[in-house]
Structure 1
């Protein structure tokens, strides 16, 4: 595991009051879409709230001279062609959210990207072309899998398969995007057009806050293994069915939930942590007087130590037969999705470090535990990933928050990074 490093003061120059106010005002406007009673947002992919914010963002871009377009999977682009024939530098994140989630996850990075590109457009008119992107369905809460739009763009997911995805109510993603007028006929950009990609995001942890650092320079992502599990039992009466005769799918699912936590307690160390979770259960028939016949669930293993992750994966599969036997159920494992520890280009981390130091921003080299659209881009184009702190490490929660000074410092850093990428500074 790579040790985090830190340097610098806790604040620095480089912003103007006007630019800060402009960003914070726009962020407040963006945060009104899908706002919840507790001050979070609820705007899953292709909901009315998501469609409305995308329309608002398109108008914001158009008003500042960007050409706005959707590609063939619904990724939203704002294009600023400064030098015809020059390569494009891409910058962005995602606007969709988890259910009843926070305002900052994804949306901060999209708006920061737009402000950074707009600032550069006002400074000079030459250099690489700039493209701001709002990736489709990063969260994967309504339509699976997550990071969908960037995966299609990067060639890791078939476009038609993505558009054929249906939500729990049977709504087809492609049909919904077409209905909203947010599905294009062209690619807009391809990987071959992109000279580099940058993304800024809230940390979603508390490493930066604990260390008193303003920005994080991401050098790699944790490894992960994700599974779709189906536990199959037999439907019966909750009262009259003899206990020995029951084949309770929910019992088997519950034992898998406990197993996931036991793996962490057994294998995790301070130097090689293991994060495990079961994030969703779909129970059938989900009736109050009926033993469940089926449970579908997602199980997630993550670690910066690939050997430890392999041991956890092995133990998981070794224990499943015993759970099946005890609960008298069948456990099916499908939909395996995995990636290893993926480093970001060292030259890109160094470039971001120079920018942070020029701005006087305290910084810390670190890993990302969560997946981001940058992970999909990183395998194909020079990619830089940046973090700003999350207060108390809270994320995917309506209480998610980041201080104004930190979000504004992050926009400054992203602007400086984007400026150097557009000028052709090497990232690899």
Structure 2
């Protein structure tokens, strides 16, 4: 398939859930997510590929060369953050579809028959914006998360994953394909490739990450009639925790730790009521597990002291902990070789963000690739990668997927 065909499809899908400032809002299991899923299914069925949907909403488009053979999986996710970018995740799925179509065309035109089949996957709820935790679909597929427990997860409106997927018609019951390897291409979400003028990143490892689920419990009272000395304001205490999470990075070398509070809800959320409860989620990430653990311990001490100072209760729970992952050396070398053969600049790099490949790398040999992000911006409407960089990535992914279906990384799978 041509470059023009890919770009036409990519920019068409970017109109689904489009926002006024060139982003998209396609949160998991919403109507906008359904429309992109319908498009994915249409792309596959037009080519005679079987489409499967499993019990956590993952979609697979199967290109079968040898009945009964295992599958090389390629893909990413089509869901987005609220007011997110049109490249994050969707680019990897679109690149996977076009790479698979190219490989099938070559085989059907008389090329050598590969020993493995090929499947393109759209993983459910990678973003975690509506349903926490993130990387849900691929983690269930990989056996890291329990499917029944994830189906019971609810969004802020009380809608469960099971209800939401059923509501859009994508709570399936199909068995997923048996994988032998996995490849994913994604925008970098950082500035390294752009700064160095390179087209491809060969990802060799991921950062250690963990989240803290924090519940601040105060006492509801009247904002006008309650004396300041008598208040137990959950939001005041929570605001200090937000600053603690930000400031803890200063205890370590510059950029050794990144942290943020990305979600906060309060009750009763009335303009004339002192908040009684605040729930927030803190995100800690570093290449060093010991740094994350040290930051966590520091925060727990400071939060305990804060609770005593304000005479309120603060509950803190660990969740969504992900150890450093190291991708197979042979897969990194394959990316480097493919890039060199295509005349593309390439370098090894880490991923600070989480991806479906982090889950898949736990169960099969996995290749993770990046293309440049303009200004390193992501998870917002300003997110951008050029058509030229996207096309170079499609060429690279096609070459990698071709090597995988012909047996690359098979030894690591044994």
Instruction: Give the TM-score of the pair, scaled to structure 1.
Output: 0.93
Do the aligned partners of 1:83 and 1:129 also contact (CA within 8 Å) in 2?
yes
> What secondary structure does 2:232 align onto?
coil
Greater shift after overlay, 281-290 or 322-331? 322-331
Is residue 2:280 matched to residue 1:297?
yes
Is residue 2:245 matched to residue 1:260?
yes
> What are the within-5 Å matches in structure 2 for residues 63-82 of structure 1?
63-82=46-65
> What secondary structure does 1:200 align onto?
strand
**Per-residue deviation, 1:313:** 1.5
* Structure 1 residues 32-88: Cα deviation after superposition (integer angstroms, max 9, x where no partner): 110111111011011111101100111011112211111111101100110112221
Tell me the C-alpha RMSD between the 2 structures.
Answer: 1.2
**Alignment partner of 1:249 out of 230, 234, 246:** 234
Is residue 2:92 matched to residue 1:109?
yes
Aligned equivalents of 2:168 and 2:261: distance in 1?
33
> What secondary structure does 2:67 align onto?
coil
Do the aligned partners of 1:248 and 1:328 also contact (CA within 8 Å) in 2?
no
* Structure 1 residues 110-157: Cα deviation after superposition (integer angstroms, max 9, x where no partner): 000010011000011521100000000111111121111101101111
Aligned equivalents of 2:44 and 2:294: distance in 1?
48
Aligned equivalents of 1:388 and 1:186: distance in 2?
33
Do the aligned partners of 1:349 and 1:384 also contact (CA within 8 Å) in 2?
yes
Aligned equivalents of 2:279 and 2:207: distance in 1?
26
Is residue 2:68 matched to residue 1:85?
yes
**Per-residue deviation, 1:335:** 4.5
Aligned equivalents of 1:42 and 1:327: distance in 2?
39
**Alignment partner of 1:56 out of 24, 28, 39:** 39
Is residue 2:128 matched to residue 1:145?
no
Is residue 2:216 matched to residue 1:231?
yes
Aligned equivalents of 1:96 and 1:327: distance in 2?
40
Aligned equivalents of 1:171 and 1:320: distance in 2?
31
> What secondary structure does 2:307 align onto?
helix
Is residue 2:264 matched to residue 1:281?
yes
**Alignment partner of 2:79 out of 74, 85, 96:** 96
Listed as ranges, the gaps of 5+ residues in structure 2 are: none
**Alignment partner of 1:155 out of 136, 143, 151:** 143
Greater shift after overlay, 335-344 or 242-251? 335-344
**Per-residue deviation, 1:176:** 2.6
> What secondary structure does 1:343 align onto?
coil
> What secondary structure does 2:2 align onto?
helix
* Structure 1 residues 340-365: Cα deviation after superposition (integer angstroms, max 9, x where no partner): 22111111101111111110100110
> What secondary structure does 1:196 align onto?
strand
Do the aligned partners of 1:214 and 1:362 also contact (CA within 8 Å) in 2?
yes
Aligned equivalents of 1:232 and 1:64: distance in 2?
55
Do the aligned partners of 1:282 and 1:295 also contact (CA within 8 Å) in 2?
yes
Partner residue, 1:13: none
Do the aligned partners of 2:72 and 2:180 also contact (CA within 8 Å) in 1?
yes
> What secondary structure does 2:159 align onto?
coil
How many residue pairs end up in the alignment?
406
Is residue 2:30 matched to residue 1:42?
no
Aligned equivalents of 2:129 and 2:158: distance in 1?
14
> What secondary structure does 2:57 align onto?
coil
Do the aligned partners of 2:187 and 2:371 also contact (CA within 8 Å) in 1?
yes
Partner residue, 2:357: 374
Aligned equivalents of 1:52 and 1:269: distance in 2?
43
> What secondary structure does 1:280 align onto?
strand
Listed as ranges, the gaps of 5+ residues in structure 1 are: 1-17
Aligned equivalents of 1:337 and 1:42: distance in 2?
24
Partner residue, 1:396: 379
